[in-house]
Chains A and B, each alone.
Chain A
Amino acid sequence: MLEIQHLSVEVEGREILHNVNLTLNTGETHVLFGPNGSGKTTLLMTIMGFPKYHVTQGTISFHGKDITDAPLDERARLGIGLSFQRPPVVRGVKTRDMVLAALKDKSRPEAVDALAGETDLTDFLDRDINYGFSGGEIKRSEMMQLLAQRPELALLDEPESGVDLENIALIGRLINELLEKGSKIRSRNSMGLIITHTGHILDYVNARNGYIMLDGTIGCMGDPHEILKEIKEKGYEECARCAFGSARRVE
């Protein structure tokens, strides 16, 4: 279970998130909508523990443990994983090295080849990570690394952006595998928090809750498909009016 309470976050001296509250139970998948610059990525990066994101108020707890001040690598080892929206190129470090680094069961290095097959990245294992990768290849590579890591909390930052239609289905399948969608909620060990701009991923991945993030706060919460429909019909401006104008702001 992930529990975020009254979280405010500053980046380079500017407060980006204000009093965010969110609870995610094991087995569940929640989706974050919101316009560009609303703070969605900041929330994910803060949960993951990147040093640039300073928590000025509030707490983050994971399976009952307060991780608000835990370092990035410790959080990864505790079972939190992030698929980057725009991961850096690391020259000389091979994709295989990254998957091996992430691999949960280090006694089975051969699993790397199977994962590469599954994500259609066999030819990429011996290439420098992210070097010359297309948008879709980056997303699949991020999914491959997460499938190696098997995190209990998967933070997915726009997993479908830049992916062609054919490959969105593949990404959807990989997310479902990562989040154990084939099992009943109660028997799952993982949970997911997904940022989506277009909502396309919802055609492939079921989610329980949707949130709209507006100007660093969570504006409203509800059924993700309904929320997406509202956004498509009325746009985020109407969301803001509705959320802040009519006091439907979620505390």
Chain B
Amino acid sequence: MKSARGAPSGARDVSNSTKPKNSQKEKARAAAEKPASMGEDVDLKAFTAEAEPHRYQEDPSSLPPATRNKMLEAGILVDTPQQRTGTYIQIDNTPVHHSVKQEGVEVMAVSEAMKRYDWLADYYWKAVPVDTDKYTASVELGKNDGYFIRAAPGVKTDLPVQACLYLSKARLAQNVHNIIIAEENAELHIITGCTTSLGKEPGMHMGVSEFYIKRGARITFTMIHSWNPEFAVRPRTAAIIEDDGLFLSNYVLMRPVRTLQTNPIARCNGENATARFNSILVALPESNMDVGSRVYLNGKGARTEIISRAITTGGNIVARGFIEGSAPQVKGHLECRGLILDNRGTIHAIPELRGTLAGIDLYHEAAVGKIAEEEVEYLMARGLSREQATATIVRGFLNVDIEGLPPMLNEELRRAVKASEKDLM
């Protein structure tokens, strides 16, 4: 087994994209005005990339209570770090804390990791092309940092690593670039909370996350977002999964956001590689979300499941899903369910399947509507009031048991959903 500091196995496998940093900058400059292929075009000039630096915190529990509470809402525990394998906290553009307590697991700022490891350049912009759109370009050209999380071959975390991207300055465009690597047969559980202390002022978050799941490795990634009604958010995520690897991604957004668009991609390149996406979306009035997942089943026997639950209480949701099967014996299932609780809102479900080979097995189901009266009445016949019956059904709708997620994270996910239910009912 190689030490965590050594060059990772398989680093050479991805080195074909190795290019001088300048070339990435050039590409980014060329794409600086390139609008995204979907979602509202956000005017980046309305935001600043500059923010005052923040002080490094040896002990994150010394952060102000209001900050800690906000972080807690997004699943980040700074007061009970014993429940985490490691922690990364970034406020605005400054990494303010990183720590890890398990050998073979690394958690640090990506800027620090780039200085430490030459080979990391091979992973930079490998899964997400830098010139995808103006937001990826902005991450390259802006003052960015982000987290680097890696598990050495065979190393398994019992407790999750947590990462918090926190925005405290009004009108800041926060650019982050995260690299996450699970080496062969490693297992990493990550919970990421992205949130802001700003109540009404606008802000923007652009986050590039690149995941590399090596042969036999597993990553579970649970991302909880909690913004405000003036925020624009453009995450750009992609994962490359090798033989027998697993990428399990959960995304929860139940708080207001002005505009959010994301369409993470998983490339199941290896044999029997698996990707699973679960999203729980709640659009309050004036929230606009365009959230999808794209999975390419390129390896023999690769599998995927995409499940999304969307509720609108007046906002707009586009729920996308795309699966492409291009290798023998691949299987994919896409399930998209939307619940309209208020006539001002819309849910637009766009499930897509693309097959290029006989013998593949892809299917989807999508349903959008209001709560069935028959179900409400069934619960009322047991003595619940109409309001109680509706609340029970909505809670059930959001109750997604996630297979493969450690019980502790499933519990935390449930807690995060429950905490946001108050706004919903």
Contact = CB atoms under 8 A, between A and B. Distances in A.
Chain B associates with chain A: yes
Given A88-B372, A88-B375, A90-B375, A72 B396 contact: no
Nearest to A84: B378
B68 interface: no
Interface residues of B, number: 24
Contact of B380 (A72, A81, A94, A145): A72
Interface string B369-409: 00010110111111111101100110111111000000000
Interface string A49-67: 0110000000000000000
How many chain A residues sit at the interface, stated as a range, is 20 to 34
Contacts of B400: 92
Nearest to B384: A101
A37 interface: no
Given A91-B397, A93-B393, A77 B379 contact: no
A48 interface: yes
A51 B373 CA distance: 10
B82 to A, nearest CB: 30
Contacts of B380: 71-73, 76
A101 B374 contact: no
A94 to B, nearest CB: 7
Majority SS at the chain A contact face: mixed
A101 B380 CA distance: 9
B379 A98 contact: yes
A101 B396 CA distance: 14
Contacts of B384: 73, 101
A73 B396 contact: no
Interface of A: 48, 50-51, 71-73, 76-77, 81-82, 84, 87-88, 90-94, 97-98, 101-102, 128, 145, 149
Closest 7 A-B residue pairs measured CB to CB? Answer: A92-B396, A93-B396, A102-B382, A76-B383, A73-B380, A101-B382, A92-B399
A132 to B, nearest CB: 15
Contacts of A145: 382
A115 to B, nearest CB: 13
Contacts of B388: 101
A155 B400 CA distance: 34
A67 to B, nearest CB: 14
Contacts of B383: 73, 76-77, 101-102, 149
B377 A101 contact: no
A50 B377 CA distance: 7
A97 B392 contact: yes
Given A50-B377, A72-B377, A92 B393 contact: yes
Interface of B: 337, 372, 374-375, 377-386, 388-389, 392-393, 395-400
B374 A88 contact: yes
Nearest to A155: B381
Given A92-B396, A92-B397, A93-B396, A51 B381 contact: no
- Which label, helix, strand, loop or mixed, suits the secondary structure of the B interface? helix
Contacts of A82: 381
Given A76-B380, A92-B399, 13 more contacts: A50-B377, A50-B381, A51-B377, A71-B380, A81-B381, A84-B381, A91-B337, A91-B396, A92-B393, A92-B396, A93-B392, A98-B379, A101-B388
Contacts of B337: 91
Given A73-B386, A76-B382, A88-B372, A94 B377 contact: no
Contacts of A98: 379, 382
A73 B374 contact: no
Residue of B384, B385, B400 contacting most chain A CB atoms (<10 Å): B384
Nearest to A93: B396
A72 B381 contact: yes
Interface centre among B337, B383, B392 (most CB of A within 10 A): B383
A92 B337 CA distance: 12
A101 to B, nearest CB: 5
Contacts of B375: 88, 90, 93
Contacts of B395: 92-93
A87 B337 CA distance: 21
A222 to B, nearest CB: 31
B417 to A, nearest CB: 11
A84 B377 CA distance: 11
Contacts of B396: 90-94, 97, 128
Contacts of B393: 90, 92-93
A91 B400 CA distance: 10
A93 to B, nearest CB: 4
Contacts of A51: 377
A48 B384 CA distance: 14
Contacts of A128: 396
Among B380, B392, B396, max chain A CB count under 10 A is at B380
Contact of B378 (A88, A91, A92, A94): A88
A204 B373 CA distance: 35
